[in-house]
Structure 1
Amino acid sequence: MAMHSTSSSIVTVLTRAAAAVCTAAMCISLAACDGDDAKTSAGSQKLPQLTGVTAKGTPGKKPEISFKTPLSVENNATAILQEGDGETLKNGDRLCMQLTQYSLKTGEEVATTWDTNVPDCSLVFNESDEPGSTESATLAQIANSTLKGKKINTTFGVGINDGSGDNQNYLLVATPVSQSKDLEKAEGKKVKDVPADLPKVTTAADGKPSIDMNGYKGSDKLVAQTLIEGNGPEITDDTYAAVVKYTGWLLDGKQFDSSWDRNDTFTATLNGGVIQGWTEGLRGKKVGSQVLLVVPPDLGYGDKEQGEIPANSTLVFVVDILAKY
C-alpha cells in the first residue's frame, strides 16, 4: 500500500496490548493483520478436536474455564466450550471478541480482555476462509471455521502448541460478544465551511472520490480537513487501527494509489504501520467521516522515492473512515 510507513513491522501490532506478555488480544490481532491481504483457502482442513477443557457460566459473561494441568494439546486444536444465545453470525460481521489466555502448564490466566472490557474487534467473519492445513492455520481462519453457524456469546477454545517455551504453548478462549457491519463509504453530514483554497473533492454515488487540485500548491504543515462529518466513534490515541477506503494523488493531480480501484478496504495500523501524516491526520476524526489529508514530505516519505511517488513529494489523500478498533 502506498501509505505504509517504510519502517512498518509486524512488531507494531504488539503496541496494542500490555508489554512483556503475548496476550490473547495481540495474538488474534496478529492473525487478523496477517489475513488482511490473504486469499481464501482453496480447500478446508478439519482441525483437531480440543479435549479436556470445560466452560461454565452465563453466556456473554466471562466463562469459568477448567482443565487438568499440565494440559497436552495438538497445535490448533479447537472446540466449542459454550453455545451462545445471541444473533447468528453472518458473513461480513465485524466481531468484537473477549479473549483470555491460559498457561497449559499451570492453568493460570496469563492475560484477558474481560477485565478491562476492551474486546478485540479485528476479525471480520468469513465462513469460507477456512484453514488449508492444520499447521498453517491462522487464528482468524480457526475462528471463522469454528464459529460457522454459531451465535453471539459462543465461547470456543484453541490450543496453541507451536513452540518449546511456555509463552508459545497456551490455551486461548474466545467469545464474540457483539457484531456490526463496516460502512461501505463515508456517511454523515457534509461540511460546509471547507476552505476555498483547498483541492476540490467530488464524490460519486458509490462513494469513490475524484479531485480538482484547484491550483493548490501544497502546505508545509499537515492539513486534515473533514469533508463529511460521521457520527461514529472517534479515533483516539488508543485506537489500534482504522478500516478505510482511500485515494492518493500528487500535487499535479496524478493518482498514485486507490483502494477504490481494487474494490477493497485498507486496515491502517496507526502506531507505525502508516506514514506519520495518516496517524496525526486521522486522530480525532469519527467513523463515517471523509477526510482530505495534505501530507508534507516530512510527514510522508521525505527524501525517499516510493514507487510512483517522487522524493520530497507532498501527498494528497481522500480517506473514508469505515470502522475502527
Structure 2
Amino acid sequence: MGEDHLDSRLPTVTGEVGEAPEITFPDIEPPEEEIAGVVAEGSGEDELVRADDLLVANVVQYQWTGPGEGEAVEGQSSYETGAPDLIRMGEMPEQITDLLVNRSVGSRAVYVFPPLTEEEAQQAEAAGQEAPAGASVLIIDLMARHGTGAVVPGEQTTDGGDGLPTVVQEGHSEPVIEVPEGDAPEDLQVVPLIEGGGAEVEEGQQVIVQYTGVPWAPDEDGEHPVFDSTWSRGGAPFDTTIGAGAVIEGWDEGIVGQKVGSRLLLVVPGDMAYGESEEEAMGAPAGTLVFVVDVLGAYDNPPPPEEEPAEEEPAEEGGDAEASAEPAEEESSEE
C-alpha cells in the first residue's frame, strides 16, 4: 500500500521498523470511525503473513487526544520493555488481522480506533477502569512469523540411537520416534539432532516450538503412542516461558542453553516429568518420556512490574526506634 492509498487522516509514523516509531498527529479531531493502513512494506515474498500464523511483533499504543496532540500510553510499548508481543492470528479480531494477511515480515501497520462512546466510557468506569480520552492508535511492527507446520531448517546430523531412541522426520511431517527395548536412562538426556545457528535460549524467555512426545514404556500392544504433540493440533507452534516452572523440569533444563534453530531429542526421567507412578502423574503419562522439540524462536519476556516499597510509619519520639539504637544492658549472671 503506497502513500497515495493511505487515509489522509492517519497519523504520520516514521522511523525504521524494528526501532521505536516517531508519530505526528494530524491537526484535526480524531476520526469517529476505524481507519488503518500499512505505512511501511517489508521485503520478501517468502515471508508473507498467513491467517493462522503465530506472529512476533513490536507493538506501541498512543492516545490521540485532539488536533495535533497525543501521547504514548505508559507501559504499552514493547520497544520500552524489550519484549515483543506474540500474536496468534486466529485469536485476533478481523479489524486487526485483515490488514496483516499477505503482508511481508518487516511491515508496519497503523490502526486508529475512535474515541469511546459515552456508554462505553461509563461501562469502563463501572468496571474500575479509567476511560481513555480521545482515539486509540496502535502501531504493529511485524518482526517474524511462525507458520503452521514450521520446522527448523537443516538436515539431522544424527538420528539418536546408541541406546537412545531414534528419530526420523521427512519434510514437515510429524517426527517418528522409535524407542529401543530395555531400561530407560536414569538421567536427563539431551541430544541435538540438528544444531541451530541462533542465539542460546535463556532462562525466562518465551520459546516457540514444535514438539511431539511418546512414553518410553510400551503399552499393552508393545507400542509407544504419541501422548501430546503440536502436530495433533494441526502443527500450530506452541509458546511458553522456559526455565521458570511453566513446563516440566526436563524441558526447563533441557532447552535452556540450546541454540535457536535446533531440533532436540529429550529423554526425560519421570521425576523430571509428571512422576514415576500413575498416582503421581494424576492422569498425565507416568515414567520416562521422550520428546522431539524444534526450537523455532526465543524472545525476551517483559520485566516483572516493580513493587512499590512499603511506607514506613514514623517512630514516636522516645519510642521503639530510639530505644533500639541503644545497646541493651546485659543482665548479670551472678546472683
Same structural fold, with TM-score higher than 0.5 when normalized by the shorter chain: yes
Q: 1:58 to 1:208 in 2, by over 3 A?
A: closer
Task: Give SS of 1:198's match.
Answer: coil
Provide the rounded CA distance (Å) in 2 between the counterparts of 1:73 and 1:249.
Answer: 58
From 52, 66, 79, the equivalent of 2:35 is 79
Q: Give 1:315 shift.
A: 1.3
Does residue 63 of structure 1 match 2:39? no
Query: How far off its partner does 1:178 sit?
Result: 3.4
Identity of aligned residues (%): 25
Q: Distance in 2 between matches of 1:149 and 1:194?
A: 38
Specify which of 284, 290, 310 is matched with residue 316 of structure 1: 290
Structure 1 residue runs without a partner (length 5+):
1-49, 130-137
* Residues 1:194 and 1:309: Cα distance change in structure 2 (over 3 Å): closer
- Equivalent pairs, count: 259
* Preserved contact between residue 207 and residue 298 of structure 2 (Cα < 8 Å): yes
Q: Give the structure-1-normalised TM-score.
A: 0.62
- C-alpha deviation, 1:144, in angstroms: 0.8
State yes or no: 1:91 paired with 2:50: yes
- 1:240 CA displacement: 0.9
The one-character-per-residue Cα deviations of 1:247-302 (angstroms, maximum 9, x if unpaired) are 32233252223333444234130244422222221112233322111222232112
- The match for 2:107 is 153
Q: Give TM-score scaled by structure 2 length.
A: 0.60
Distance in 1 (CA, whole Å) between partners of 2:234 and 2:112 is: 33
How far off is 1:123 after superposition?
2.9
The separation in 2 between residues aligned to 1:149 and 1:202, in whole angstroms, is 33
Alignment deviations for residues 191-240 of structure 1 (CA, whole Å, 9 cap, x no partner) = 45957222222334544322332234224432222122222443222421
The answer as to whether partners of 2:59 and 2:84 remain within 8 angstroms in 1 is yes
1:268–1:274 CA contact under 8 A, matched in 2: no
Looking at CA atoms only, which structure, 1 or 2, has the larger radius of gyration?
2
Q: How big is the alpha-carbon RMSD for the aligned residues of Structure 1 and Structure 2?
A: 4.0
Give the aligned residue type for 2:11.
Answer: T
Q: 1:234 aligns to what?
A: 200
User: What is the deviation of 1:110?
Assistant: 0.6
Matched, 1:288 2:261: yes
Contact 1:188 1:289 in 2 (8 A): no
Contact persistence 1:247–1:259 (CA under 8 A) = no
Q: Which has the higher contact order (CA 8 A, sep 6+)?
A: 1
Deviations 1:121-161, CA, capped at 9 Å, x for gaps: x2365xxx5xxxxxxxx546442123346564333235496
Change (3 A) 1:109 1:186: closer
